[in-house]
Homo-oligomer: A and B are copies of this chain.
Amino acid sequence: MPVELMAQNAKKAAIELGGMDTDRKNKALALIAQKLNQKREDIFSANKQDIERSKNENLPDPLIKRLKFDEKKLADLLDGIKSLIKMEDPVGKTLLSTELDTGLELYRVSCPIGIIGIIFESRPDALVQISALCLKSGNAVLLKGGKEAALTNRILYETILSATREAGVPDAWINLLESRDEVSELLKLDSYVDLIIPRGSNEFVRYIMENSRIPVMGHADGICHCYIDKDADVEKAVSIVVDSKTQYVSVCNALETLLVHESIAGTILPLLKKELEERNVEIRGCEKTRAIIPCSIATEEDWRTEYLDYILSVRVVESIDKAIEHINTYGSGHTDAIVSENRANIEKFMNYVDSGNVFANCSTRFADGFRYGLGAEVGISTNKLHARGPVGLEGLVTYKYKLVGNGHIVADYAEKRRRFTHRPLNKEFKV
């Protein structure tokens, strides 16, 4: 089926799904969990074939690792779906209610966005996770996974489809794209697809962002900074830097560049060097850093690099202002932290660093939807519009204004026969 036709059908399904009650959506989610569990052996077997074929094709190891869909991945997904069922429906919430005049009531009510394109590399569990989030929030999906996971993706898609069909959700709510050409087609469908969520490497995400007019929710880079202020507690600073850099190096909220105030650099850098080298972290420093600890030299390129590896660039700065300027110049607006006992400096840092997550005296690794208590996580967005930082289910909805009158016309107000009351109603929408 051509992708455009798929999108047309998805649009109809999206409108039906948008008005669907919570019980039916939860029933569909419960059936997805049940059928994934029943089909487990078939899914694992399809996944083994994908892995075999990818190994034969000499695909890189990290990719093959991400491709794996095993008992652990399945158990995590089933847990995720169960907690998603318990979550409040993000659709149909009254966000604002105002009486414009007697009998003329305005409501701002949350509703699904519409059609969401999900493009992901390797990890077939992403297909299930994001589809489930979209179903709960009433959105139709066009899915495109990597060809290395083709068999796994297909059986996961078919399992989800059979579950939602049984629950009475129209088939066209979920669509699987299987060829590479279809991605370019999808990226052009800005008249149908309302949002794209990409999941994969930063090159992959950047490619999607640069090749579509459809809004993209996500992040390409996570160049996260930690700034150690002159008034930092040294012990906290060392512990926070070690955690931010090494707790899990290959993730977007890991630390990439350390900025240290010059008056504390002499104390802190030797301590940090010891701790980091014990954990095999290579330090690349500016000239001032190298005057304090021996290390390789950091170039301009380092300030712009997301290593996702055991490497840390270090720059000594003469003031908090220089630190903020560095972050706003080289950062990616993801997550940046200050370590300081000085409240005025903390406040300054948090106000002036232009990032989705600004932290004081804690690890950058906390930037995460689950840790934030948002429940299910759609991803982390470095966009400034719509949703920023870790995005929960509410990032998958928009709102519409519903105005209910009783024959009200504007001429009466324009000609001063009537006046607006603009009185807050504080009540739920009901016709």
Q: Taking A19-B351, A371-B413, A389-B401 as given, write out 17 further A-B residue pairs in contact, using a Cβ cutoff of 8 Å, ordered by the A residue number.
A: A98-B372, A113-B384, A113-B385, A195-B385, A215-B385, A347-B431, A355-B400, A356-B401, A358-B402, A362-B405, A362-B409, A367-B401, A371-B420, A385-B386, A388-B398, A388-B401, A390-B401
Contact with A403, one of B100, B113, B357 (Cβ below 8 angstroms): B357
The 7 A-B pairs with the shortest beta carbon distances in the complex, nearest first, are A362-B405, A243-B409, A373-B422, A236-B407, A365-B410, A19-B351, A385-B386
CB distance from A22 to the nearest CB of B (A): 14
Q: How many copies does the complex hold?
A: 2
- Whether A400 touches B357, Cβ cut-off 8 Å, given contacts A363-B408, A372-B98, is yes
15 contacts between A and B (CB under 8 A): A19-B352, A100-B366, A100-B372, A113-B385, A114-B384, A247-B414, A346-B431, A350-B402, A350-B431, A355-B400, A356-B401, A358-B403, A362-B405, A362-B407, A371-B420
Contact with B along A213-236 (1 / 0, CB 8 A): 101000000000000000001011
Pairwise interchain contact A240-B399, C-beta atoms closer than 8 A: no
Q: How many residues of A contact B (CB 8 A)?
A: 78
Pairwise interchain contact B98-A18, C-beta atoms closer than 8 A: no
How far is it, in angstroms, between the C-alpha of A243 and the C-alpha of B420 when the chains are bound? 17
Pairwise interchain contact B240-A407, C-beta atoms closer than 8 A: yes
How far is it, in angstroms, between the C-alpha of A350 and the C-alpha of B248 when the chains are bound? 47
A291 an interface residue at 8 Å Cβ cutoff? Answer: no
Contact with B along A341-362 (1 / 0, CB 8 A): 0010011101110111111111
- Whether A358 touches B389, Cβ cut-off 8 Å, given contacts A19-B348, A371-B413, A384-B194, is no
How far is it, in angstroms, between the C-alpha of A371 and the C-alpha of B418 when the chains are bound? 12
Contact with B along A136-177 (1 / 0, CB 8 A): 000000000000000000000000000000000000000000
- Chain B residues whose CB sits within 8 angstroms of the CB of A403 once the complex forms: 357-360, 362, 366-367
| Nearest neighbor of A325 in chain B, beta-carbon distance | B12
Pairwise interchain contact A352-B407, C-beta atoms closer than 8 A: no
CB distance from A140 to the nearest CB of B (A): 12
How far is it, in angstroms, between the C-alpha of A194 and the C-alpha of B333 when the chains are bound? 13
Pairwise interchain contact A114-B431, C-beta atoms closer than 8 A: no
- Chain B residues whose CB sits within 8 angstroms of the CB of A292 once the complex forms: none
Contact with A239, one of B98, B409, B422 (Cβ below 8 angstroms): B409
- Chain B residues whose CB sits within 8 angstroms of the CB of A328 once the complex forms: 11, 15
A106 an interface residue at 8 Å Cβ cutoff? Answer: yes
